[in-house]
Structure 1
Amino acid sequence: MRDSVATRRRVGLIFAAVWAVYLVDPLRRAWSLDDPLERAYSLGVVVAFGVCFVGAYWYLLRGSGGRDVWIDPHPRTVVVPLALLCALMAAAAPTLHSEVLGLAIFVGTFIAFALPVPRALVALAVLILATTVVPQLLAGEPPAYATMSSIAMSAFAVGGIREVIRRNQQLSLARKQLTELAIAEERLRVGRDVHDILGHSLTVITVKTELAQRLLDVDPERARTELADVERLAREALSGVRSTVGGLREISLEGELANARTALSAAEIEASLPDSDELPVRHSVVFGWVLREAVTNVVRHSGARHCTVRVTGTTIEISDDGVGSGGEPHFGSGLSGLRERVRATGGTLTVSNRPEGGLRVLASFPAGLTKELE
């Protein structure tokens, strides 16, 4: 969460800084004022407006209570910066006169980025009337159509960017919820399997044990029979548990390719996978583990649009066109465990950034290796 907040802050600062370049005209107008006091006052107000504008995006994108504020920002994260921007714009009007209308464009872009569409439309209408229509009509002049058009077009562009970000966040949230739902369903399935295996057996074992205890003094022979049944039931239950656990741990390259195809398709990542009839028999288990971990990382972290899997008799390579690691690849707990699995079977695991972008995971084994992961 901390990394996500830091990323949002950087995005907000960069986004606002790009727009702040257009404060050059108001600054030039303020610098050209003849009166030194008016010049200093105007420069100070314009600079304060720029700082407030950049800070407004930082404040909006900083995160709030672990929730994505781009989707539904809290009113305080919008009203406070917006009110301050409007106050500074009004403060610059007595000295900058018509040049102050350029600041209204900045206010319009912030409204379009920060507010939901219905509220943004109302706020933009109020802003345009208050800055480009009403003052001009009161002064007996026509509305400032050029500024009005600039406010509307700038707001439309920034509003479109906001909608793209919003929809991407909603898609990411939906994927996360689907993943959590799949995990919950798998836990329920395992729970049902264990209950089916052990529930009946343990109930019968309990009843027979109680019966054997009562028969020890009355009918020892029958008590021994009941205890023999208890032993048999316990062994059957233990065998069932082992079978269930074994099924959960069983892994193969063919099965993991099918899982990878499903996972990548669900994440809307185009997959290039080998045909099942071309798969090598040797190293199938360890190749399956490599494929599972690599595809999991692609789905969760890469932001990729395409993933390619190549398999030979001694290697498996998984590559994507995502964001890569942003530096030297970091071996987290998943990749570290995977590296130990590959090393235990006599192979080597390499994780590297691709020159064209994305990450490459390669597990390779010597050609004559016969050892396999059990």
Structure 2
Amino acid sequence: MTSVTEDRGAEATVATIGRPPENRQEALRKLLWIGIWLAFLGAPVSDLLKEQHTAWATTLGWVALAAFVAVYLALVFRHTARPFARVTVASILVSLACIAVITSLTLGAPWLVLFVYVSVGCGAVLPLPLARWAIPGATAAMALAGLTTKGDWGDFVPGLAIPALLGGFAMTGVRHLVRTTVELRQARATVAQLAANEERLRLARDLHDLMGHSLSLITLKSELAGRMLPDHPDQAAQQVADIEQVSRQALVDVREAVTGYRRATLTGELAGARTALTAAGVAADLPAESGAQLPPGAPPGAEEALAWVVREAITNVVRHSAAKRCLVTLGERQTLDGRFVELRVADDGRGGPGAAVPGNGLTGLAERLAKVGGSVEATCGKGFTLTARIPLASRECEHGVGEGPSAL
């Protein structure tokens, strides 16, 4: 186990939903996810390979299919990064629809599948109110075109109508999910900024409360001592002594305040643990930060000691365990030796037989827990488990022995 360091590379592993590709690798990944659905174009490709049409018609078919695919990919891929203008979007959709109509009427029913991509394109790029009408419209156009195409209408249109409707409306749902994700990311950034601003205000307020009165008093007494120094050296010496006393007390107050700022808390450590585990690709099952409260009877310093346990244990999971899942539990436990608050951190990574070999991390945690009467235990097996226990005061001690009307 090692001490906590800054988590680097977290942003590189964060999902890029709703964000334009930032490099070639992300662009290729997005293009792959869009292009994989082109597999359903097997029907028109098979129709061209069967050589049932004239050479001229086959050539035009390949050109039309290549143009359709290129325009479709450009429309959907570009819309995920920098959307086209509305006029451009409308022109592209009309072009796709025209290619679908012409090829279906001239080459036959297998080309009706192009209308499915027109429907998906409408759901991907059109405003949601307009997409609700354009998707059924594209499906209806496919049905009408199927009435005059070569081939059996019943073999193609009924089987393509449902994919056209579902594909189009599913794309509108994906867009809504992307928009919600972007808004959530922006809201989180806003909350983080507000929290930082609130922390700055708190620091300024605390510094004013701590130092304002002391510095004002030091200034006043310094001026008074300066006036008394020529004629009343004894009184000036008393003022200087008061200045020294106020300065020492101010220094003590500042040190206590800084110690409070640097004190580890369970809430903060659990929030940091969730972020670190997610960035490392480890499924995190942690208590809610808002509910990370110790049971009644916990000794002073217990929260800080357990916070250090969380910090050290999560660092070990991220750096050394190669785990897929990490479970953190916190709660009260009743044993034959009394009541304890127990914190357990378990992962499913590299383990091993027997007990873990104590290192600097375990030794440091044991020393911290010993100050509050607690203990730490590490076990290896199918994964690694770290358990910290701190005794709680008995309920009689919490309420006071012999209290009540019947006490003598």
Q: TM-score range by the shorter chain?
A: 0.5 to 0.7
Q: CA deviation at 1:363?
A: 6.0
CA contact (8 A) 1:271 1:306 kept: no
CA contact (8 A) 2:101 2:145 kept: no
2:360 and 2:136 mapped to 1: Cα distance? 63
Overall identity of the aligned pairs, in %: 25
1:296 and 1:84 mapped to 2: Cα distance? 51
**Aligned with 2:329 (options 303, 306, 309):** 309
Q: What is the number of equivalent residue pairs in this alignment?
A: 312
1:168 and 1:179 mapped to 2: Cα distance? 16
Aligned twin of 1:345: 364
Q: CA deviation at 1:128?
A: 4.6
Aligned twin of 1:334: none
1:107 and 1:361 mapped to 2: Cα distance? 53
- Secondary structure in structure 2 of the residue aligned to 1:318: strand
1:175 and 1:364 mapped to 2: Cα distance? 33
1:92 and 1:23 mapped to 2: Cα distance? 12
1:309 partner amino acid: T
Query: How far does the alpha carbon of each residue in 1:245-296 deviate from its partner, in whole angstroms, 9 at most, with x for none?
Result: 1122234xxx5279749997xx996639997589999998565224147679
1:119 partner amino acid: L
1:186 aligns with 2:226: no
Aligned twin of 2:369: none
Matches within 5 A, 1:207-356: 207-251=220-264, 256=266, 260=270, 271=287, 287-292=306-311, 307-309=327-329, 318-319=345-346, 342=361, 345=364
Query: How far does the alpha carbon of each residue in 1:156-208 deviate from its partner, in whole angstroms, 9 at most, with x for none?
Result: 23333333444445445444544443343333323322221011211222233
CA contact (8 A) 2:286 2:329 kept: no
1:256 partner amino acid: L
CA contact (8 A) 1:8 1:61 kept: no
- Secondary structure in structure 2 of the residue aligned to 1:308: strand
2:251 and 2:344 mapped to 1: Cα distance? 39
Structure 1 residues 185 and 257: alpha-carbon distance in aligned structure 2, compared to 1, 3 A threshold: closer
Q: CA deviation at 1:22?
A: 0.9
**Aligned with 1:59 (options 78, 102, 115):** 78
Aligned twin of 1:372: none
Superposition TM-score, scaled by structure 1 size: 0.61
Structure 1 residues 234 and 204: alpha-carbon distance in aligned structure 2, compared to 1, 3 A threshold: same
Aligned twin of 1:108: 119
1:148 and 1:295 mapped to 2: Cα distance? 51
2:195 and 2:314 mapped to 1: Cα distance? 16
Aligned twin of 1:159: 172
Q: CA deviation at 1:84?
A: 3.5
1:47 aligns with 2:66: yes
Higher relative contact order (CA 8 A, sep 6+): 2
Q: CA deviation at 1:44?
A: 2.5
Q: Compare the two structures and name the one with the higher helix fraction.
A: 1
1:15 partner amino acid: W
CA contact (8 A) 1:16 1:53 kept: no
Structure 1 unaligned spans of 5+: 65-73, 299-303, 329-339, 348-353, 366-374
Query: How far does the alpha carbon of each residue in 1:123-144 deviate from its partner, in whole angstroms, 9 at most, with x for none?
Result: 435545665559979xxxx9x9
Structure 2 unaligned spans of 5+: 1-10, 279-283, 318-323, 334-339, 351-358, 367-380, 389-408
1:281 and 1:216 mapped to 2: Cα distance? 48
Superposition TM-score, scaled by structure 2 size: 0.57
- Secondary structure in structure 1 of the residue aligned to 2:328: strand
CA contact (8 A) 2:345 2:385 kept: yes
Q: CA deviation at 1:240?
A: 0.6
CA contact (8 A) 1:30 1:43 kept: yes
CA contact (8 A) 1:45 1:88 kept: no
- Secondary structure in structure 1 of the residue aligned to 2:170: helix
